[in-house]
Structure formats: structure tokens, C-alpha cells
Amino acid sequence: MRLTRRSVLGTAAAAAAFGGLARAEPAPQVLRAQAGRQQIAPNGFAETDIWGYGGAVPGPEFRTMQGARFRRRLINDLPQPTTVHWHGVRIANAMDGVPGLTQEAVQAGDRFDYDFAPPDAGTFWYHSHNKNVEQVARGLYGPLIVEENAPPEVDADLALMIDDWRLDTRTMAITGDFDNRHDLSHAGRLGNITTVNGHFDPVQSVRRHDRLRLRLINAANARVFEIGFEGLEGWLVALDGMPLQTPAPVTGAFRLAPAQRADVIVDVTAKAEAHLLSIERDGGYGLMRFAVQPGPRVRRDNAPSALPPNPMPAIAEPAAAPLTEMRMTGGAMRGLEPSQLGTTLMQPRELYELGKFWALAGQVDRGPAPFVDAARGETHRISFVNDTAFGHAMHTHGHHFRTLRADGSLGPWRDTLLIDPGETRQVVMVADNPGNWLLHCHMLGHAAAGMMNWFRVT
Ligand code: C2O
Ligand code: CU
């Protein structure tokens, strides 16, 4: 039969009349993981071969409404298996994108449909979660912005993904030393060039006295950025996607560890040029520039009010919650103790030979048993004890937590917490999202070299 418009319509009408066929859902929009080429190094230098979503880095900026259904079809056009993790979204477990734990890795040429409704408004991001020490370093990440129903009034709302790249300084190609043992056992893969939204020192045009919402996202493999502003003044309003109860004036530089986000609302006070800076020992380096055009004569006189709160669980009696200690061990200078790999207790030398340098609670990689086994709705405390010579950015999947301070007060909600060498931090969380959830260091080389564990909520 030749299909004419009439016959197609007729068939559909007939099917509807029988009520036998549910109307097929339209296919989700495609998110293609693929190779691309981009100007990462400063203009005038060679372009760099990258891997990106849609062939660019960052991938498309997704903006969706809080609570609305969000679907994307990952198509893998890479030469390796991959998955997508929606970092910070309190998502259904099957959509979390962890190969071997929540789904099978998507093979080259294959696809996977992600389908979820983000419960929280805020700044999130998505990134590869397979071989991510390599795949994220090659550029497989993008911003996921979940809009508030009543967003604050600003003149511009910019998602800024900050990264550092390790490029061969002659060819500008990404260096392929992802399993470099020195990086794995020290501070991780640090780069030699920084970008914001995939470009070196980009310029954004603004007006004097404009109010900007900047959504800073650290997509770097391992670098902890110390963020500074010049010619921009304002308030920190959210961390890791979660609104602060009260906006906090930004009075100096602040640290942003890998995977962390900070939302700031700032007014442009500079006359000609403002800067987003990375503060380092020997001074401040420009991450990006704001070219300032003339604007309103005066600055707004009101401070922004707090962002509308997300539907977070109440934490009753945090100090009474069961407490589990997670000792972080290994790495250069301190070294591992005999630790468990799978179900086998192994000597440090054997583990080093396997490229494993770190352990969490005596376990290297994801072991057979969860680190915490929680009944749904239970409140749990974890004490992170950093017995290593390096800082670590500890990230929980599917849940945010709050730090519990010595005086019993609770810190802001976070999904990634930087813990300095020698430091102990206690966190408390409500295990309200059922499933098997990863807990790991977001210095991606550390995670690849063993700094990974998991917890279960049933
Ligand atoms: Cu940003 Cu396990 O992930
Ligand atoms: Cu680490």
C-alpha cells in the first residue's frame, strides 16, 4: 500500500477507535557523544580534538523547569563505552548513569534514554561517568540549569563552566596520559590552560550596574579553583544547586572544588572591564573578562532575597543519627595500609601495581557490600577522616547532605565537600532516595585509583 496522508490518518483514527494502540511517545531529543574540534588554546594556536556532547565543549546548555519531565537520548558515537551522570540531581536510581551500578555502559554505536523530573531548582551539570578521568578531561560535560518558578530579577543569567586542560604545548592536543601514576597518587590531573565554557579567557559584554547571576561550575578533573572577582560585587546565593538560607556577601576569594557549584548574584561596578579570576600563589589569573558598556547611573540598592527553598527533607536530631566513619587513606607521602580489593585483603605493593593508590574505609574501588545500608527515610551521619596528604572532594550520588559543625549547627546543603589533608568533617543526610548510590572523590584520578565506595537505601 502506498502511504498517503489520508491513509496514515485513517489508520491512526482506526487504531484510536479500537483503543488498542497507545499513542507512541515522540522520541526524546538526541544528546550525541562524539568527537569534535575546538579552539581551546588562545587564538592563534592550533585547535584541539575534543570529545563533547554534540561535538562541542561544553555540551548544550539545558534549561528546564523544576519538576518538569526531562528526557534525552544519549547516542554514543565515541570509540569507547559511555554513560551520562546528572550531577547533583536527586534522581531516580536507574537514571543516575553509573555503569555497573545503575545501568550497563552504553557501547559504541548504542543508545540509552534518560528520563527524569528534577525535583530541585538550581545549577547542576551532566558529565560522562565511564572512564571519566579520560572522558571528562576530553570535554564530555555540560550545564543543566533547573529554573525556579519565581527566579530572582537579574539582567543576565550565565552558566560558566570552568575547566583546566592539559595540552601538549606544541600541538595543543590533549595529552593522553590519563593513567599517569604520579597524577593518580598525588593531586590528580592538573592542566596547563584554563577555559570558561570551552574558551580561553572569553569576553562577555555587560553594562555598568547590571545585576548578573553567575552559575559557576567546576568541571576540572582535579583543580580546586580559588575564585576571585574584580569589578563585580555581590552575594553568594546557592551552593551545589541548593539555595542558602540567607545570601552571603562575597568579601574575598572562595574555593570551588571539582564538581562544586556556586551561584552568585553580582553587580557590575567596574567602568571598563571586570574579571573572573583564579587566585594562585603568585597572583590572580584571568579566567574570563566582562567588557563593560555604559548602563544605569546607579547600582541597585537592594540585596537579593534568598532563592526559593528546594523541597529538602527535615533533619531531626542530627546528633542522634547513627554515625559511620569513613577513613580516607593512601596516596603519596602517607601510602596505603593493607586494604580490601573486592573481597581480597591486599598489600599496598600489590595494589600499587594495579594502579590503585587510595582506599575509603579500607576498601579500594566499589566493594561487594555497601558502606552504609540505610532503610529509606533514615538519617545517617558520616565522619570523613582525611588521613592523606591531599585534599579530596567527596561526592554523594542521589542525595545532598549538610555538614554538622562541632557546635551542633548544620551547614548548607551540598553534594560535594572538599576535605583538607588531616581534616575530619562530619556530615548528615536523610537517606530518602532508594537505590544503590556511589560515593567517591571527584578528583577523577583519585576515584579511578580506588577512592570510591557506595551506599544502599532500601
Ligand atoms: Cu559528578 Cu560520580 O559524579
Ligand atoms: Cu581525592
Taking alpha carbons only, the member of 281, 134, 291 closest to residue 203 is 291
Say if ligand 1 is within 6 A of residue 440 CB.
yes
Which long-range contacts does 53-57 make (Cβ < 8 Å, 24+ apart)? 53/126, 53/140, 53/141, 53/142, 56/198, 57/139, 57/140, 57/141, 57/163, 57/198
| Among 225, 233, 232, residue whose Cα is nearest residue 285 | 225
Atom of ligand 1 nearest to the CA of 397: 2
Report the atom number in ligand 1 closest to the C-alpha of 438.
Answer: 2
> What is the average per-residue pLDDT within 435-451?
98
Ligand 1 centroid – CA 220 distance (Å) = 12
pLDDT of residue 283: 86
Q: Is the per-residue pLDDT at 421 higher than 70?
A: yes
pLDDT of residue 284: 87
Q: Which ligand is nearest to the CA of 441?
A: 2
85 CB near ligand 1 (under 6 Å): yes
Nearest CA to ligand 1 atom 1: 87
- In angstroms, the CA 200 to CA 159 distance is 16
Q: Which amino acid is at 103?
A: Q
Report pLDDT digits (tens) over 93-137: 999 999 999 999 999 999 999 999 999 999 999 999 999 999 999
Percent of the residues in the chain that have a pLDDT greater than 70, as a whole number: 95
CA of 78 to the centre of ligand 2 (A): 27
pTM metric for this prediction = 0.94
CB-based contact 172:48 (threshold 8 Å): yes
Ligand index nearest the alpha carbon of residue 99: 1
What does the alpha-carbon distance between residue 317 and residue 123 come to, in Å, rounded to a whole number? 29
- Across the range 55-79, mean pLDDT stands at 98
Statement: residue 8 has pLDDT above 70: no
> What is the Å distance from ligand 2's center to 5 Cα?
59
Q: Measured from the CB, is residue 438 less than 6 Å from ligand 1?
A: yes
Beta-carbon count within 10 A of 9 CB: 10
- Does pLDDT of 7 surpass 90? no
Q: How far is the CA of 68 from the centre of ligand 2 (A)?
A: 34
Please state the atom number of ligand 1 nearest to the C-alpha of residue 125: 1
DSSP designation for 376: T
Cell of 120: 530541585
Report the alpha-carbon distance of residue 370 to residue 347 in Å, rounded: 22
Beta bridge partners of 419: 392
pLDDT, one tens digit per residue, over 280-295 is 988 889 999 999 999 9
Instruction: Give the residue among 399, 413, 395 at the shortest CA–CA distance from 456.
Output: 399
Cis amide leading into 370 (omega within 30): no
Is the CB–ligand 1 distance for residue 259 below 6 Å?
yes
* Rounded distance from Cα 441 to ligand 2 centre (Å): 5
Residue 70 DSSP SS3: strand
Q: What is the pLDDT of residues 15-50, one digit of tens each?
A: 444 444 556 889 999 999 999 999 999 999 999 999
Handedness of CA 324, 328, 334, 340 (dihedral sign): positive
Q: What is the mean pLDDT of residues 424-448?
A: 98
Task: Return all residues near 250 (Cβ < 8 A) that are at least 6 apart.
Answer: 229, 233, 234, 235, 236, 264, 266
pLDDT of amino acid 13: 47
The closest residue, in CA terms, to atom 3 on ligand 1 is 87
- pLDDT at residue 72, as a whole number: 98
Q: Determine the pLDDT at residue 318.
A: 96
Mean of all residue pLDDT scores within the chain: 95
The burial class, CB within 10 Å (0-12 / 13-18 / 19+), for 118 is buried
Q: Give the number of whichever ligand sits closest to the CA of residue 127.
A: 1
> Considering only CA atoms, which of 78, 84, 188 is closest in space to residue 133?
188
The closest-lying atom of ligand 1 relative to the alpha carbon of residue 87 is: 1
CA distance 346 to 352: 10
> Using one digit for the tens of pLDDT, what is the confidence trace for 194-221?
999 999 999 999 999 999 999 999 999 9
Lowest mean pLDDT among 15-19, 249-253, 383-387, 426-430: 15-19
Is the confidence at residue 191, as pLDDT, over 50? yes
Q: Are 208 and 152 in contact (CB under 8 A)?
A: no
Is a pLDDT exceeding 90 seen at residue 369? yes
> Which cell numbers hold the place of 196?
570558561
Whether the CB of 87 sits within 6 Å of ligand 1: yes
Structure-model confidence comparison of residues 13 and 224, the more confident one: 224
Nearest-angstrom CA–CA distance, 258 and 381: 23
Section 244-263 average pLDDT: 98
Residue 186 CA: which ligand is closest? 2
Q: Which ligand is nearest to the CA of 395?
A: 1
Tell me: pLDDT of 12 over 90. no
The reported pLDDT for the residue numbered 25 is 87
Summarize pLDDT for 382-404 with one digit per residue, the tens: 999 999 999 999 999 999 999 99
Distance 446 CA to ligand 2 centre (A): 5
* pLDDT tens, position by position, 150-164: 999 999 999 999 999
